[in-house]
């Protein structure tokens, strides 16, 4: 038996996952990626403009409340105390009441801001989480075969966490800081324009330092996001494959690999802390030196007699105050860099276009539901730019026919299944259901009409009931039990601790592979589609189980179209028609009895299979 | 689908002890991880306090120079006074920046290193914990601990803890100063501090519960994401993407509600921390003004009082933020230790059996002798044992097929020799030694497994196949093993992959077909060259011709290996010299295929594909109820009647 010249499933398209890991991008790329992520951020915040304005207002109110305190103290000391001494109570009462009002208003505004910011942050996060989740479901299988699940998980977890930090804490600082800085600078410039110039000059090194920080931290945050994604991918993979890791004593190797990735992540974090750790004291140094400069220049002018001492005192105070919020700005900028680096990754995932596209003007099925006639017209298929798997297949399956497809691994059987179920689209030619190109059918219609059961019977955590009900949400308990009975799963389910309410645990831990296949069969029974595709769906069943499923199948398939792909010819026995495939072509096609009577490939296969039986 | 409700989750997971610990006691458990970092943290704290002092000193110098030399100003032309003060401010300014640089440099290493060390410790522990643990814990919960929680802890170690200490010191010193020097005003201020303290304590209790809930919920959300990706084929095949999205949205919305509740609690504290001190200051202002007007207090003292409160206000407001950060870190510590303190019930013996070392990767000269002696196995949470007093011998060099109905405990039995699970009672021996007397490494050197669910790793085909082969082996030998095992498993498709055996295969080997993955998993088990080989339905996904070819080659290879193969069909049984039948958790018959066919009706029922046998065995009626009965583990009486019938 010859092996296929190339294994289609192993071919991959040049993947975006690779681009995903690049940290030092070219200038143009870097800008494009950044623009894409900022666009996403803008888009996410667009719906929250009123809330954002409200939050900004609360910040301003809380800042004013903060500033009002010292000012009122000054007023009290300068005016109210002398007035009180003179017997006038009003100014003191007024300032006291003013202080009280400012305290309460400012405090309430500060608290309200925390809540408002959290509301915005959580709404944005929910929105983004849904977008990523929907996108993950929308993308074609082709994409999932190259973009590891760990990466998607890291997009959904640690990347979104970075955004959350920006939205939660970052905004508080930036509004009040900018406000204070502008206010301080204007006051200073009005008070003494020469000192204003000194402060403006200090801007130059501060700006240069910020540029340096921006450049470095952008790169390091990218590295950090990539390192964190790699760490997550490795972790998810190791935990998912823990049985194999332990059985083959790979713990030391995986530990070493994980350690190396952990060290990369640690180094990325160190670099970020390092950049931050120089940026922040750098700004403080510039601020302090500005005060020194202002003191030197101003003091000289005072001694020359061209500047009043009172003015200098105020100038120095303003200079000192001007640089205080800069630190908060730095922190905001930090959170911002981290979030945009994360958003770069997330927006990259969101920008992926599925290769299997939902039609813009879907064609409805006549009579609302499918009859189940399938036609493959000159179908050519290749995975990405890999070798041709199906060189040109013409096939018609009338509604209600049960077709078995046999052939060696890699002959293209599974590819036919994936095309009929539209997991992939044909490279050339068309696949038609009841005469309608499957590419023109709404996904909901297609999925209702065509259902596939694969060898890999995945169970989700949750109860047995929920897992079967996946076939048809909203099914009644009776319907679920009937489906389970039909495939012979009912009894073992009843034997489980809580029957249908038994939790199947992580990845169906306590259910054997055969039982898992029975449950996924029950799912398909419940879904009740017009076309059922079984791709090696009975491989792990034992003989009695298989016999039962076959019995069930005979009833089930009586009035619907079915494509059965199986290595076990026992499953093939119930078929009306057998196709033997080789190298992507149908080499034999006929009723099972006719083919067995001949001397072709199927007759040989059948003889070999008969020999293997008892 | 869906995740288990968080309450259930936690009840069987959390150590009740962590919840009852005080925050300080909980965080003190970090000591072994932070011990080496403590000097640096202390240094960082000193630098931080030093920087604070310098920052406070600068305004004093400015005040002195404006009040002194400069006010004397134009008259005295005290150039040297000005020059000195400029130099002094410059020194203090540079000093402040320098100390902050020092603080950040000192703190960044411990923060990141402690995180990395804890992450490795957790990873090591997770790898040590048995399969049973991993079956119970959803991946997302573990992931959110090792990434989210430890990241939180890192940030707390780098920023939070210093901030907390500096804030507290400033507040305590400030309040002390106020009380000592402020007279009545100080007492008024102290009165304000009492409700603040009470509120802060009540806040921490409430916040901790919500913070725990939120961290658990994000773990559950991560689990849902993980499953939606791993189960993408099922969701797509049934068109259930929208339903999955709905369910995810519901969960995410729950998390949002928790987060908003958390923020509301936080907002309450923020409001209190702002309003209470400020209100006491308003009262102090009025009282102070009256006292000054009456001459019972100097104006200077009033100014000094407010100058000091201004210094305290900042840290008090920050306290809200650092307190919530600390509580989040505490939750993270609890969640970390929940896993770290999970006791591993499946450990290496203190004094492992003294066994001759296995030559790595070579055909073992002696095949192993495996014996199950009165083995009973029950899953922790099950009421009935899966295996009930099983006795079975696997003589050296033989191949035994294990046959039984779906769910009869075959796969469970297969997990016992490599110690993936340990028996509940009885024992499993390899070469006369109880496997529990060997270290896990010792056992697994001797026993290799190919699972029914082939797990491949994101690595090259070579690395995947040579997983159980020692790295110390010369390359030539490794290559020879690779070639041979791929050949035996009929995995010739590897040569046609883009980079041959160097081709990377994706996560879980997803980009290969089921049959291809299974052949690689089989090749991996063969390449390990164990004394004992356990194959769990290793040929299920192969087509008849390939299966035949594999079987023929495998029989040769297995001649020097004791093999236990779980079989569902006659073609797999053909690999074996003898067959053991597992029924209702017991081995009911052992013999050759032919013998059992002749003598054992249950075996005939399981393995025979002939409809007559089936019909003889069960009521052939079309009613599904009766027809399905014999296929599953029904009550023993039923079975007895069926067998009596046949």
Distance of residue B530 Cα from the nearest chain A Cα, in angstroms: 10
- From chain A, pick out residues whose CB is under 8 angstroms from the CB of B629: 491
pLDDT score at B619: 40
Same domain, B311 and B434: no
Query: Nearest chain B Cα to A104, which residue?
Result: B275
- From chain A, pick out residues whose CB is under 8 angstroms from the CB of B111: 273
Distance of residue B104 Cα from the nearest chain A Cα, in angstroms: 5
Same domain, B429 and B317: no
Q: Does the residue B286 lie in any domain?
A: yes
Chain A CB within 8 Å of residue B311 CB: no
Q: What is the 3-state secondary structure (H, E, C) of A18-58?
A: HHHCCCCCCHHHHHHHHHHHHHHHHHHHHCCHHHHHHHHHH
Same domain, B255 and B195: yes
* Strand arrangement of the beta sheet that strand A585-590 belongs to: A450-454, A531-535, A561-565, A402-407, A577-582, A585-590
Q: Cβ B406–A515 below 8 Å, yes or no?
A: yes
Task: Say how far apart CA A461 and CA B223 lie, in whole Å.
Answer: 9
Distance of residue A355 Cα from the nearest chain B Cα, in angstroms: 14
Same domain, B321 and B375: no
- From chain A, pick out residues whose CB is under 8 angstroms from the CB of B440: 246, 249
Name the residue with higher pLDDT: A235 or A80. Answer: A235
pLDDT score at B429: 92
When mean pLDDT is compared across A358-362, A466-470, B105-109, B355-359, the lowest value belongs to B355-359
pLDDT at A32 exceeding the cut of 70: yes
pLDDT score at B358: 63
Chain A CB within 8 Å of residue B318 CB: no
pLDDT score at A20: 55
Q: Does the residue B94 lie in any domain?
A: no
CATH number at residue B505: 3.40.50.300
Query: Nearest chain A Cα to B414, which residue?
Result: A247
Q: Does the residue B140 lie in any domain?
A: no
Task: Say how far apart CA B201 and CA B433 lie, in whole Å.
Answer: 58
- Among the ranges A183-192, A203-212, B454-463, which has the highest mean pLDDT value? A203-212
Distance of residue A130 Cα from the nearest chain B Cα, in angstroms: 7
pLDDT at B645 exceeding the cut of 50: no
pLDDT at A437 exceeding the cut of 90: yes
Q: Looking at residue A613, what DSSP letter applies?
A: -
- In this predicted model, what pLDDT tens digit does every residue of B128-156 receive, in sequence order? 999 888 888 888 889 989 998 999 899 88
Q: Cβ B93–A288 below 8 Å, yes or no?
A: yes
Same domain, B532 and B398: yes
Q: Cβ A567–B542 below 8 Å, yes or no?
A: yes
Same domain, B522 and B584: yes
Q: Cβ A410–B223 below 8 Å, yes or no?
A: no
Is residue B587 very low, low, confident or very high in pLDDT (cuts 50, 70, 90)?
A: very high
Same domain, B428 and B509: yes
Tokens of B8: 């259930």
Same domain, B538 and B483: yes
Same domain, B185 and B287: yes
Interface test mutation site (partner A, options B117, B281, B358, B631, max chain A beta carbons within 10 A): B631
Task: Say how far apart CA B522 and CA B488 lie, in whole Å.
Answer: 9
Same domain, B421 and B522: yes
Q: Cβ A300–B82 below 8 Å, yes or no?
A: yes
Is residue B10 very low, low, confident or very high in pLDDT (cuts 50, 70, 90)?
A: very low
Distance of residue A459 Cα from the nearest chain B Cα, in angstroms: 8
- In this predicted model, what pLDDT tens digit does every residue of B41-53 receive, in sequence order? 899 999 988 888 8
Measure CA A60 to chain center: 35
Name the residue with higher pLDDT: A17 or A110. Answer: A110
- From chain A, pick out residues whose CB is under 8 angstroms from the CB of B228: 133, 136-137
Q: Crossing angle of helices A171-191/A90-138, nearest 10°?
A: 130
Chain A CB within 8 Å of residue B82 CB: yes
pLDDT at B119 exceeding the cut of 60: yes
Distance linking the first and last C-alpha atoms of chain B: 41
Q: Does the residue B209 lie in any domain?
A: yes
Q: Does the residue B593 lie in any domain?
A: yes
pLDDT score at B2: 37
Interface test mutation site (partner B, options A297, A457, A460, max chain B beta carbons within 10 A): A460
CATH number at residue B187: 1.20.1560.10
Query: Which residue among B136, B267, B506 places its CB closest to the CB of A505?
Result: B136
When mean pLDDT is compared across A397-406, B352-361, B401-410, the lowest value belongs to B352-361
User: A-contacting residues of B 510-529, CB under 8 Å?
Assistant: 510-516, 524, 528
pLDDT at A169 exceeding the cut of 70: no
pLDDT score at B487: 92
Query: Nearest chain B Cα to A87, which residue?
Result: B293
Is residue B543 very low, low, confident or very high in pLDDT (cuts 50, 70, 90)?
A: confident
Name the residue with higher pLDDT: A110 or A554. Answer: A110
- Among the ranges A330-334, A596-600, B55-59, which has the highest mean pLDDT value? A596-600
Name the residue with higher pLDDT: A88 or B581. Answer: B581
Render the burial of A11-23: b for 16+ CB within 10 Å, e for the rest: bbeeeebeebeeb
Query: Which residue among A121, A133, A605 places its CB closest to the CB of B248?
Result: A133
Coil vs helix vs strand at B343: coil
Q: How many CB pairs under 8 A join A and B?
A: 609
Mean pLDDT (whole number) for A306-324:
79
Q: Looking at residue A438, what DSSP letter applies?
A: G
- In this predicted model, what pLDDT tens digit does every residue of A406-436 receive, in sequence order? 887 778 888 899 999 999 999 999 999 999 9
Q: Cβ B259–A122 below 8 Å, yes or no?
A: yes
* Strand arrangement of the beta sheet that strand B387-394 belongs to: B387-394, B370-377, B425-430, B433-434
Distance of residue B18 Cα from the nearest chain A Cα, in angstroms: 25
Q: Which domain holds residue B284?
A: 181-343
Residue B581's DSSP bridge partners are B403, B589
User: A-contacting residues of B 206-245, CB under 8 Å?
Assistant: 218, 221-223, 225-245
Q: Cβ A266–B78 below 8 Å, yes or no?
A: no
H-type alpha helices, A241-308: 242-247, 251-304
Q: Cβ A608–B544 below 8 Å, yes or no?
A: yes
Query: Nearest chain B Cα to A1, which residue?
Result: B545
What domains does chain A contain, in order, with CATH numbers?
32-351 (1.20.1560.10), 399-411+447-612 (3.40.50.300)
- From chain B, pick out residues whose CB is under 8 angstroms from the CB of A65: 274, 278
Distance of residue A594 Cα from the nearest chain B Cα, in angstroms: 20
B585 exposure class (CB count in 10 Å sphere: 0-12, 13-18, 19+):
buried
Q: Does the residue B449 lie in any domain?
A: yes
Q: Does the residue B119 lie in any domain?
A: no
Task: Give the number of domains in chain B.
Answer: 2
Interface test mutation site (partner B, options A231, A247, A497, A526, max chain B beta carbons within 10 A): A247
Q: Cβ A303–B1 below 8 Å, yes or no?
A: no
Distance of residue A249 Cα from the nearest chain B Cα, in angstroms: 6
- From chain B, pick out residues whose CB is under 8 angstroms from the CB of A385: none
Q: Cβ B271–A451 below 8 Å, yes or no?
A: no
Name the residue with higher pLDDT: A130 or B178. Answer: A130
pLDDT score at B20: 67
Q: Cβ A470–B274 below 8 Å, yes or no?
A: no
* Domain finish residue from B325, B343, B361: B343
When mean pLDDT is compared across A129-133, A533-537, B259-263, the lowest value belongs to A533-537
Mean pLDDT (whole number) for B99-128:
91
B470 exposure class (CB count in 10 Å sphere: 0-12, 13-18, 19+):
middle
Name the residue with higher pLDDT: B633 or A570. Answer: A570
Interface test mutation site (partner A, options B301, B507, B546, max chain A beta carbons within 10 A): B507
Q: Cβ B62–A316 below 8 Å, yes or no?
A: yes
Q: Cβ B544–A146 below 8 Å, yes or no?
A: no
Query: Nearest chain B Cα to A417, which residue?
Result: B237
Which residue is it, tokens 């060898």? A455
pLDDT score at B357: 67
pLDDT score at A172: 62
- In this predicted model, what pLDDT tens digit does every residue of B217-240 receive, in sequence order? 988 998 899 888 888 888 888 888
Chain A CB within 8 Å of residue B461 CB: no
Chain-wide mean pLDDT for chain A?
Answer: 84
Task: Say how far apart CA A316 and CA A327 lie, in whole Å.
Answer: 19
Chain-wide mean pLDDT for chain B?
Answer: 82
Name the residue with higher pLDDT: B582 or B613. Answer: B582
Q: Does the residue B391 lie in any domain?
A: yes
Is residue B333 very low, low, confident or very high in pLDDT (cuts 50, 70, 90)?
A: very high
- List own/partner pairs for A237-240 with CB under 8 A and 24 or more apart: A237/A148, A237/A150, A237/B457, A237/B458, A237/B507, A237/B508, A238/B123, A238/B127, A239/B126, A239/B134, A239/B139, A239/B142, A239/B143, A240/A507, A240/B139, A240/B230, A240/B455, A240/B508
Render the burial of A205-232: b for 16+ CB within 10 Å, e for the rest: ebeebbeebeebbbbbbbbbbbbbbbbb
pLDDT score at A7: 39
Torsion of CA B133, B138, B141, B147, to 10 degrees: 90
Same domain, B317 and B237: yes
| CA–CA distances in Å: residue B50 to residues B53, B98, B109, B318 | 5, 10, 20, 19
Same domain, B328 and B450: no
pLDDT score at B634: 38
pLDDT at B185 exceeding the cut of 90: no
Query: Which residue among A236, A456, A515 places its CB closest to the CB of B233?
Result: A456
Q: Cβ B151–A158 below 8 Å, yes or no?
A: yes
Q: Cβ B543–A407 below 8 Å, yes or no?
A: yes
* Domain finish residue from B343, B378, B393: B343
pLDDT score at B74: 57
pLDDT score at B150: 93
């Amino acid at each position: 038996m010859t092996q296929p010249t190339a294994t289609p499933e192993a071919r991959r398209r040049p993947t975006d996952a690779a681009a995903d890991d690049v940290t030092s991008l070219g200038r143009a790329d870097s800008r494009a990626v950044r623009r894409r992520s900022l666009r996403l951020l803008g888009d996410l915040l667009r719906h929250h403009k009123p809330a954002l304005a409200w939050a900004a207002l609360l910040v301003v109110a809380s800042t004013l409340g903060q500033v009002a305190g010292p000012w009122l103290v000054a007023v009290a000391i300068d005016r109210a105390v002398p007035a009180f001494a003179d017997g006038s109570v009003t100014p003191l009462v007024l300032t006291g009441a003013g202080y009280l009002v400012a305290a309460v208003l400012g405090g309430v505004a500060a608290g309200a801001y925390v809540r408002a910011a959290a509301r915005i942050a959580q709404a944005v996060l929910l929105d983004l989480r849904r977008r990523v989740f929907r996108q993950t479901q929308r993308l074609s299988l082709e994409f999932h075969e190259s973009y590891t699940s760990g990466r998607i998980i890291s997009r959904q977890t640690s990347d979104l966490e970075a955004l959350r930090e920006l939205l939660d804490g970052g905004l508080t600082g930036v509004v009040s800081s900018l406000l204070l800085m502008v206010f301080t600078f204007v006051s200073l410039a009005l008070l003494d324009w020469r000192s204003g110039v000194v402060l403006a000059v200090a801007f130059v090194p501060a700006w240069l330092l910020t540029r340096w920080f921006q450049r470095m931290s952008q790169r390091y945050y990218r590295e950090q996001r990539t390192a964190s994604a790699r760490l997550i991918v490795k972790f998810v993979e190791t935990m998912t494959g823990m049985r194999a890791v332990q059985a083959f004593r790979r713990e030391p190797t995986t530990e070493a690999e994980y350690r190396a990735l952990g060290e990369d992540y640690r180094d990325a974090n160190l670099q970020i802390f390092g950049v931050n750790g120089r940026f922040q004291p750098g700004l403080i140094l510039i601020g302090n030196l500005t005060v020194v400069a202002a003191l030197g220049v101003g003091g000289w002018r005072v001694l020359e007699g061209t500047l009043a001492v009172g003015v200098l005192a105020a100038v120095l105070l303003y200079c000192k105050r001007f640089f205080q919020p800069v630190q908060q700005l730095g922190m905001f900028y930090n959170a911002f860099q981290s979030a945009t680096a994360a958003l770069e990754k997330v927006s990259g995932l969101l920008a992926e276009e599925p290769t299997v596209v939902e039609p813009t003007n879907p064609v409805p099925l006549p009579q609302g539901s499918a009859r189940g006639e399938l036609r493959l017209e000159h179908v050519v298929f290749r995975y990405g730019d890999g070798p041709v798997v199906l060189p040109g297949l013409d096939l018609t399956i009338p509604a209600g026919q049960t077709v078995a497809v046999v052939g060696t691994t890699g002959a293209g059987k599974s590819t036919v299944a994936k095309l009929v179920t539209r997991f992939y689209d044909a490279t050339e030619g068309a696949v038609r259901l009841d005469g309608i190109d499957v590419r023109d059918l709404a996904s909901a219609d297609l999925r209702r009409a065509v259902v596939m059961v694969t060898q890999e019977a995945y169970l989700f955590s949750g109860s047995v009931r929920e897992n079967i009900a996946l076939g048809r949400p909203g099914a009644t308990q009776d319907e679920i039990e009937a489906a389970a009975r039909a495939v012979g799963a009912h009894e073992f389910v009843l034997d489980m601790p809580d029957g249908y309410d038994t939790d199947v645990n992580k990845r169906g831990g306590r259910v054997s592979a055969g039982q898992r296949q029975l449950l996924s069969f029950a799912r398909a029974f419940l879904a009740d589609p017009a076309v059922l595709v079984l791709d090696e769906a009975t491989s792990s069943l034992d003989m009695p189980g298989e016999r039962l499923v076959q019995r069930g199948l005979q009833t089930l398939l009586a009035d619907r179209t079915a494509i059965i792909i199986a290595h076990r010819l026992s499953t093939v026995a119930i078929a009306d028609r057998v196709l033997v495939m080789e190298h992507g072509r149908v080499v034999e096609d006929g009723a099972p009895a006719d083919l067995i009577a001949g001397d072709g490939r199927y007759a040989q296969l059948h003889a070999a299979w008969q020999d293997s039986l008892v | 689908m869906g995740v288990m409700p968080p309450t259930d989750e936690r009840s069987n997971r959390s150590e009740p002890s962590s919840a009852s610990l005080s925050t300080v006691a909980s965080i003190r458990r970090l000591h072994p991880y932070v011990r080496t970092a403590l000097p640096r943290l202390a240094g960082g704290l000193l630098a931080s306090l030093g920087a604070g002092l310098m920052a406070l000193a600068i305004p004093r110098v400015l005040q002195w120079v404006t009040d002194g030399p400069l006010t004397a100003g134009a008259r005295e032309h005290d150039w040297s006074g000005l020059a000195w003060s400029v130099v002094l401010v410059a020194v203090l300014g540079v000093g402040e920046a320098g100390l902050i640089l020092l603080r950040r440099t000192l703190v960044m290493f411990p923060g990141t290193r402690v995180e990395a060390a804890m992450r490795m410790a957790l990873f090591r522990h997770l790898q040590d914990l048995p399969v049973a643990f991993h079956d119970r814990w959803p991946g997302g919960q573990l992931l959110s601990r090792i990434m989210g929680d430890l990241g939180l802890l890192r940030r707390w170690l780098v920023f939070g803890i210093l901030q907390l200490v500096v804030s507290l010191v400033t507040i305590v010193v400030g309040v002390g100063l106020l009380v000592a020097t402020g007279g009545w005003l100080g007492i008024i201020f102290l009165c304000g501090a009492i409700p603040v303290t009470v509120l802060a304590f009540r806040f921490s209790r409430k916040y901790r519960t919500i913070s725990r809930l939120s961290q658990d919920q994000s773990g559950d959300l991560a689990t849902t994401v993980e499953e939606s990706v791993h189960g993408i084929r099922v969701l797509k095949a049934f068109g259930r993407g929208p339903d999955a999205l709905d369910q995810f949205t519901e969960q995410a919305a729950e998390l949002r509600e928790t987060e908003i509740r958390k923020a509301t609690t936080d907002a309450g504290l923020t409001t209190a921390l702002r309003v209470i001190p400020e209100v006491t200051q308003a009262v102090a202002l009025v009282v102070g003004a009256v006292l000054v007007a009456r001459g019972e207090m100097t104006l200077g003292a009033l100014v000094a009082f407010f100058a000091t409160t201004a210094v305290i206000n900042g840290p008090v407001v920050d306290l809200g933020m650092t307190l919530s950060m600390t509580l989040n870190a505490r939750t993270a510590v609890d969640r970390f230790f929940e896993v770290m303190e999970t006791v591993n019930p499946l450990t290496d013996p203190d004094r492992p059996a003294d066994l001759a070392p296995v030559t790595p990767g070579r055909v073992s000269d002696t095949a192993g002798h495996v014996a199950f002696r009165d083995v009973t196995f029950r899953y922790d949470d099950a009421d009935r044992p899966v295996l009930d007093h099983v006795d079975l011998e696997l003589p050296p060099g033989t191949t035994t097929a294990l046959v039984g109905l779906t769910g009869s405990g075959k796969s469970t039995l297969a997990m016992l020799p490599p110690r993936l699970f340990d028996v509940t009672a009885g024992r499993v021996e390899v070469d006369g030694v109880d496997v529990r007397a060997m270290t896990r490494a010792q056992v697994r050197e001797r026993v290799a497994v190919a699972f029914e669910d082939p797990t491949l790793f994101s690595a090259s085909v070579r690395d995947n196949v040579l997983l159980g082969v020692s790295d110390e082996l010369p390359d030539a030998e490794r290559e020879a093993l690779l070639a041979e095992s791929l050949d035996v498993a009929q995995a010739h498709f590897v040569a046609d992959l883009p980079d041959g055996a160097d081709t990377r295969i994706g996560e879980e080997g997803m980009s290969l077909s089921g049959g291809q993955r299974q052949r690689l998993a089989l090749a991996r088990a063969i390449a390990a060259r164990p004394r004992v080989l356990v194959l769990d339905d290793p040929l299920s996904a192969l087509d008849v011709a390939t299966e035949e070819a594999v079987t023929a080659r495998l029989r040769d290879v297995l001649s020097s290996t004791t093999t236990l193969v779980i079989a569902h069909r006659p073609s797999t049984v053909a690999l074996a010299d003898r067959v053991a039948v597992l029924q209702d958790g017991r081995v009911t018959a052992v013999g050759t295929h032919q013998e059992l066919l002749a003598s054992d009706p249950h075996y005939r029922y399981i393995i025979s594909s002939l409809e007559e046998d089936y019909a003889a065995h069960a009521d052939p009626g079309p009613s599904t109820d009766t027809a399905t009965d014999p296929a599953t583990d029904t009550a023993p009486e039923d079975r007895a009647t069926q067998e009596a019938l046949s």
